[in-house]
């Protein structure tokens, strides 16, 4: 899902279907300008700003009293197949139809079946093996159907539920009746909890429907969009019926229909596996030209994703778009619903076919596996197809959004709040930056291999963050436990303070410290990119920053004028400083022929060894970074172990005291 914030409140779900002027009231002139002025084909960063709002706006209501986790009553069966037969007149806020459900029992003595289903819809009949049975609706969202006799585990069975009414509309507007250019339109958008508003479902993230058929009958002037392949359309009297057929597993929230006076056209997309994939577009007649321009541009993006990861997941059927009036886009499986045809929105929703649809987050806590990836893949299209400045702007915008507040984790800490689940700052921008940082940390080869392995492993299933972590670790050989603890569960970001000094042409000393914006993370262990810039050349270096006060000796070989901190924006950080400082220079360690100090960095002790000095040595002194003496002692033999326990971490200097010569202090750091 991607959405626009045009500076006005968006859908107020409870009121939507009473307001026939929805479109006029909901979208500002700014959004309309962007959509219809032709700018959609000429992408600027403006449309990035719109896609990912600067701040989360209170445009969706929070949920109260709606089951947000898997309903335990629905865990005793496996959804196999649905046949939906709906009558929709987009001029009327109403659904009439029936759902035939094929299910497999998972427990013995299966005597009743439960669905998450709005009690605002009336049950017209329930038929089981051709016989009527009686269901009961209770609470807001529970339908219970007792079976005439109990079933054993493993039994495949079915029943048909006929129902009708005006559905409630939740979240972003799960069932919306609206209009465009004076023509009625009606669409559904169930993410995250809205499937139960308009069909008897399992509303959790643990059971994909293996396949389905959708039949939508509507007055003849309209067309109906659906999931999968349109296998038939036929007239009966004043009505048309559209039959969609989908043979891939699908999460319930990705089932969708949209009905209005669409015009249609198809772009063909050659895939890497040799398939000519149809990209089927259902658009408003008044926007046909803009749509054709936008989807033509998307052909290369689909080919790019198809080659970057694994083949387009639903290549035996189609990809496509259906235009709708909600202020953004929604990645309904095989057919994204979009308000316009801008590059960013189309690239984002298309990416969801892999990240969200083929592999679906297994908990709303882990929604970044959908939205972080879709956001980042849109960024990758900027890197691949657009100017370096556009790619830089994409990174800068997401970085600014993600760091606009000092706290907040990518992991969703309150799944009852749709605002929190779909936080543009945390789920989209910070989620995308997690992926960007993993790419930097692991390198392109290991990062993309790990993601491909993750997709292959979780294909047509659900996934959680540990699934991604395991595949990235296997591909790279790196332990990412600390990374995910800091960046997924932890909050905030680091600010870096870099000090440097060049004492000789051959090397530069760099000291790096960091502070963190939120105390849930005391230190972000990251490879830090710096560029050494001089008249002769620029040199990109990468320093694995493991603790505060860490001093790096960097080979240079040229005169360095300045050091740039992360000029390519690999790291999620803010308020970084770089200072040329002779403090670092005075810390140049005197490791030479006479003495050696180790380990550096040190833990609870440091050991010093020397040769040729023994007859002159009298003792040692330990200084902290402020030059204060924090320890001293005598020496014996040719080595000494010095305890550091009780001392804070940071920079230290150890000076050997001799009778006749001044020894330079040896710099080291305590972890
Ligand atoms: Zn999205």
Structure-model confidence comparison of residues 588 and 158, the more confident one: 158
pLDDT for the residue numbered 503 = 79
Expressed in angstroms and rounded, the spacing between residue 331 Cα and the centre of ligand 1 is 7
Residues with CB under 5 A from ligand 1 (ion): 1-2, 371, 374
Expressed in angstroms and rounded, the spacing between residue 205 Cα and the centre of ligand 1 is 17
pLDDT for the residue numbered 397 = 98
Taking 60 as the threshold, does the pLDDT of residue 42 lie above it? no
pLDDT for the residue numbered 612 = 65
pLDDT for the residue numbered 199 = 98
Instruction: Tell me whether residue 634 is exposed, middle or buried, using C-beta atoms within 10 angstroms of its C-beta: 0 to 12, 13 to 18, 19 or more.
Output: exposed
Taking 60 as the threshold, does the pLDDT of residue 21 lie above it? no
pLDDT category, 29, cuts 50, 70, 90? Answer: very low
pLDDT for the residue numbered 541 = 96
pLDDT for the residue numbered 664 = 62
Q: For residues 671 and 141, what is the distance between their CA atoms, to the nearest angstrom?
A: 55
Expressed in angstroms and rounded, the spacing between residue 469 Cα and the centre of ligand 1 is 21
Tokens at 205, concatenated:
């993230």
pLDDT category, 549, cuts 50, 70, 90? Answer: confident
Range of weakest confidence among 196-200, 363-367, 602-606: 602-606
Expressed in angstroms and rounded, the spacing between residue 288 Cα and the centre of ligand 1 is 24
Structure-model confidence comparison of residues 135 and 43, the more confident one: 135
Range of weakest confidence among 35-44, 84-93, 370-379, 426-435: 35-44
Expressed in angstroms and rounded, the spacing between residue 352 Cα and the centre of ligand 1 is 7
pLDDT for the residue numbered 662 = 59
Residue 8 half-sphere exposure, CB side, CA atoms within 13 Å? 15
pLDDT > 70 in the chain, percent: 87
Expressed in angstroms and rounded, the spacing between residue 257 Cα and the centre of ligand 1 is 18
pLDDT digits (tens, 9 = 90+) for 351-394: 999 999 999 999 999 999 999 999 999 999 999 999 999 999 99
Range of weakest confidence among 9-23, 273-287, 315-329, 556-570: 9-23
pLDDT digits (tens, 9 = 90+) for 275-333: 999 999 999 999 999 999 999 999 999 999 999 999 999 999 999 999 999 999 999 99
Tokens at 185, concatenated:
């339109």
Structure-model confidence comparison of residues 548 and 437, the more confident one: 437
pLDDT category, 634, cuts 50, 70, 90? Answer: confident
Expressed in angstroms and rounded, the spacing between residue 40 Cα and the centre of ligand 1 is 18
pLDDT for the residue numbered 596 = 72
**Are 494-586 and 595-670 the same fold in CATH?**
yes
Residues 6+ apart with CB under 8 A from 40: 34, 47, 290, 293, 294, 340, 341, 342, 343
Expressed in angstroms and rounded, the spacing between residue 369 Cα and the centre of ligand 1 is 10
pLDDT for the residue numbered 660 = 63
Expressed in angstroms and rounded, the spacing between residue 355 Cα and the centre of ligand 1 is 9
Domain boundaries of the chain, sorted by first residue: 494-586, 595-670
Instruction: Report the candidate in 235, 244, 239, 298 with the shortest Cα–Cα distance to residue 266.
Output: 298
Expressed in angstroms and rounded, the spacing between residue 1 Cα and the centre of ligand 1 is 3
Mean pLDDT of the chain: 88
Expressed in angstroms and rounded, the spacing between residue 75 Cα and the centre of ligand 1 is 28
Expressed in angstroms and rounded, the spacing between residue 348 Cα and the centre of ligand 1 is 6
pLDDT category, 47, cuts 50, 70, 90? Answer: very low
Instruction: Report the candidate in 601, 596, 609, 611 with the shortest Cα–Cα distance to residue 644.
Output: 601
Residue 383 half-sphere exposure, CB side, CA atoms within 13 Å? 11
Expressed in angstroms and rounded, the spacing between residue 351 Cα and the centre of ligand 1 is 8
Upstream peptide bond of 192 is cis (omega within 30 degrees of 0): yes
pLDDT for the residue numbered 13 = 33
pLDDT for the residue numbered 551 = 83
Expressed in angstroms and rounded, the spacing between residue 444 Cα and the centre of ligand 1 is 23
Residue 221 half-sphere exposure, CB side, CA atoms within 13 Å? 9
Q: For residues 350 and 99, what is the distance between their CA atoms, to the nearest angstrom?
A: 28
Q: For residues 213 and 226, what is the distance between their CA atoms, to the nearest angstrom?
A: 9
- Mean pLDDT, to the nearest integer, of 505-530? 95
335-360 exposure pattern, b = at least 16 Cβ within 10 A, e = fewer: bbbbbbbbbbbbbbbbbbbbbbbbbb
pLDDT for the residue numbered 353 = 98
Expressed in angstroms and rounded, the spacing between residue 329 Cα and the centre of ligand 1 is 7
- Mean pLDDT, to the nearest integer, of 171-191? 96
Residues 6+ apart with CB under 8 A from 331: 1, 254, 349, 350, 352, 353, 356, 357, 374
Expressed in angstroms and rounded, the spacing between residue 427 Cα and the centre of ligand 1 is 10
Expressed in angstroms and rounded, the spacing between residue 374 Cα and the centre of ligand 1 is 6
Instruction: Report the candidate in 434, 432, 475, 440 with the shortest Cα–Cα distance to residue 457.
Output: 475
Expressed in angstroms and rounded, the spacing between residue 491 Cα and the centre of ligand 1 is 22
Expressed in angstroms and rounded, the spacing between residue 217 Cα and the centre of ligand 1 is 29
Taking 60 as the threshold, does the pLDDT of residue 670 lie above it? yes
Taking 80 as the threshold, does the pLDDT of residue 609 lie above it? no
pLDDT digits (tens, 9 = 90+) for 233-246: 999 999 999 999 99
Range of weakest confidence among 355-369, 394-408, 580-594, 621-635: 580-594
pLDDT for the residue numbered 550 = 83
Expressed in angstroms and rounded, the spacing between residue 2 Cα and the centre of ligand 1 is 4
Taking 50 as the threshold, does the pLDDT of residue 14 lie above it? no
- Mean pLDDT, to the nearest integer, of 498-516? 91
- Mean pLDDT, to the nearest integer, of 333-340? 98
Taking 70 as the threshold, does the pLDDT of residue 109 lie above it? yes
pLDDT category, 614, cuts 50, 70, 90? Answer: low
Expressed in angstroms and rounded, the spacing between residue 199 Cα and the centre of ligand 1 is 23
Taking 80 as the threshold, does the pLDDT of residue 55 lie above it? no
pLDDT for the residue numbered 454 = 98
Expressed in angstroms and rounded, the spacing between residue 371 Cα and the centre of ligand 1 is 5
Q: Could you tell me which CATH number the domain at 595-670 has?
A: 2.60.40.3080
Q: Which fold has domain 494-586?
A: Immunoglobulin-like (2.60.40)
Expressed in angstroms and rounded, the spacing between residue 103 Cα and the centre of ligand 1 is 30
pLDDT for the residue numbered 37 = 32
Expressed in angstroms and rounded, the spacing between residue 67 Cα and the centre of ligand 1 is 23
pLDDT category, 4, cuts 50, 70, 90? Answer: low
Structure-model confidence comparison of residues 516 and 47, the more confident one: 516
Expressed in angstroms and rounded, the spacing between residue 561 Cα and the centre of ligand 1 is 43
Expressed in angstroms and rounded, the spacing between residue 539 Cα and the centre of ligand 1 is 37
Q: For residues 125 and 111, what is the distance between their CA atoms, to the nearest angstrom?
A: 19
pLDDT for the residue numbered 611 = 66
pLDDT for the residue numbered 586 = 52
pLDDT for the residue numbered 661 = 61
- Mean pLDDT, to the nearest integer, of 540-559? 90
pLDDT digits (tens, 9 = 90+) for 414-470: 998 999 999 999 999 999 999 999 999 999 999 999 999 999 999 999 999 999 999
Taking 70 as the threshold, does the pLDDT of residue 7 lie above it? no
Expressed in angstroms and rounded, the spacing between residue 502 Cα and the centre of ligand 1 is 47
pLDDT > 90 in the chain, percent: 73
Expressed in angstroms and rounded, the spacing between residue 627 Cα and the centre of ligand 1 is 54
Expressed in angstroms and rounded, the spacing between residue 332 Cα and the centre of ligand 1 is 10
Expressed in angstroms and rounded, the spacing between residue 344 Cα and the centre of ligand 1 is 11
pLDDT for the residue numbered 226 = 98
Tokens at 457, concatenated:
């492993």
Taking 60 as the threshold, does the pLDDT of residue 668 lie above it? yes
Which residue's structure tokens are 């009298």? 618
pLDDT for the residue numbered 342 = 97
pLDDT for the residue numbered 495 = 98
pLDDT for the residue numbered 590 = 45
Structure-model confidence comparison of residues 357 and 546, the more confident one: 357
Expressed in angstroms and rounded, the spacing between residue 129 Cα and the centre of ligand 1 is 41
């Amino acid at each position: 899902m991607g959405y626009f914030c045009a500076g006005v409140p968006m859908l107020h779900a409870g009121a939507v279907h009473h307001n026939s002027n929805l479109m006029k009231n909901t979208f500002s002139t700014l959004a309309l300008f962007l959509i219809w002025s032709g700018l959609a084909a000429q992408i600027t960063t403006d449309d990035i700003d719109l896609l990912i709002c600067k701040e989360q706006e209170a445009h969706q209501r929070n949920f109260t009293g709606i089951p947000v986790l898997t309903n335990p009553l629905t865990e005793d069966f496996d959804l196999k197949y649905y046949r939906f037969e709906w009558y929709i007149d987009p001029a009327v806020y109403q659904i009439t139809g029936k759902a035939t459900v094929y299910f497999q029992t998972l427990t013995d003595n299966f005597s009743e079946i439960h669905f998450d289903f709005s009690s605002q819809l009336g049950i017209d009949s329930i038929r089981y093996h051709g016989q009527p049975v009686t269901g009961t609706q209770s609470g807001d969202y529970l339908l219970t159907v007792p079976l005439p006799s109990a079933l054993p585990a493993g039994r495949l069975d079915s029943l048909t539920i006929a129902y009708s009414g005006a559905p409630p509309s939740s979240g972003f507007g799960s069932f919306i009746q609206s209009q465009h250019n004076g023509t009625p339109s009606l669409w559904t958008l169930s993410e995250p909890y809205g499937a139960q508003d308009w069909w008897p479902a399992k509303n959790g993230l643990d059971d994909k429907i293996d396949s389905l058929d959708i039949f939508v009958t509507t007055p003849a002037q309209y067309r109906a969009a659906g999931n999968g392949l349109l296998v038939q359309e036929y007239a009966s009297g004043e009505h048309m019926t559209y039959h969609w057929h989908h043979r891939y597993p699908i999460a319930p929230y990705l089932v969708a229909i949209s009905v209005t006076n669409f015009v249609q056209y198809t772009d063909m997309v050659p895939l890497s596996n040799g398939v000519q994939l149809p990209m089927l577009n259902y658009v408003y007649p008044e926007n046909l030209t803009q749509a054709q321009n936008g989807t033509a541009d998307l052909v290369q993006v689909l080919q790019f994703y198809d080659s970057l990861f694994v083949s387009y997941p639903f290549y035996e059927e189609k990809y496509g778009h259906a235009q709708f009036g909600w202020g953004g886009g929604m990645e309904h499986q095989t057919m994204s619903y979009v308000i316009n045809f801008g590059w960013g929105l189309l690239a984002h929703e298309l990416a969801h076919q892999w990240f969200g649809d083929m592999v679906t987050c297994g908990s709303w806590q882990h929604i970044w596996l959908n939205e972080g990836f879709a956001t980042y893949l849109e960024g990758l299209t900027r890197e691949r197809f657009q100017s370096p400045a556009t790619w830089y702007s994409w990174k800068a915008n997401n970085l600014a959004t993600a760091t606009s507040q000092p706290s907040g984790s990518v992991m969703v800490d309150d799944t009852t709040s749709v605002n929190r689940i779909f936080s543009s700052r945390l789920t989209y921008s910070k989620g995308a930056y997690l992926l960007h940082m993993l790419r930097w940390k692991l390198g392109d080869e290991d990062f993309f291999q790990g993601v491909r392995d993750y997709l292959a492993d979780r294909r047509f299933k659900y996934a959680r963050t540990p699934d991604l972590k395991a595949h990235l670790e296997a591909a790279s050989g790196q332990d990412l436990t600390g990374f995910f603890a800091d960046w997924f569960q932890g909050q905030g970001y680091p600010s870096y303070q870099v000090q440097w000094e060049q004492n000789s042409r051959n090397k530069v000393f760099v000291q790096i410290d960091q502070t963190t914006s939120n105390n849930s993370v005391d230190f972000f262990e990251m490879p830090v990119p710096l560029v050494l810039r001089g008249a002769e050349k620029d040199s990109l270096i990468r320093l694995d920053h493991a603790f505060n006060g860490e001093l790096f000796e960097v080979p240079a070989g040229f005169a360095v004028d300045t050091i740039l901190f992360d000029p390519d924006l690999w790291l999620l950080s803010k308020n970084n400083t770089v200072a040329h400082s002779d403090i670092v220079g005075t810390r140049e360690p005197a490791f030479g022929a006479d003495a050696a100090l180790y380990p550096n960095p040190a833990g609870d002790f440091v050991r010093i060894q020397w040769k040729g000095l023994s007859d002159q040595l009298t003792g040692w002194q330990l200084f902290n970074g402020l030059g204060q003496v924090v320890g001293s002692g005598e020496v014996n033999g040719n080595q000494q172990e010095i305890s550091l326990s009780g001392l804070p971490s940071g920079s230290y200097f150890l000076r050997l005291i001799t009778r006749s010569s001044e020894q330079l202090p040896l710099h080291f750091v305590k972890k």
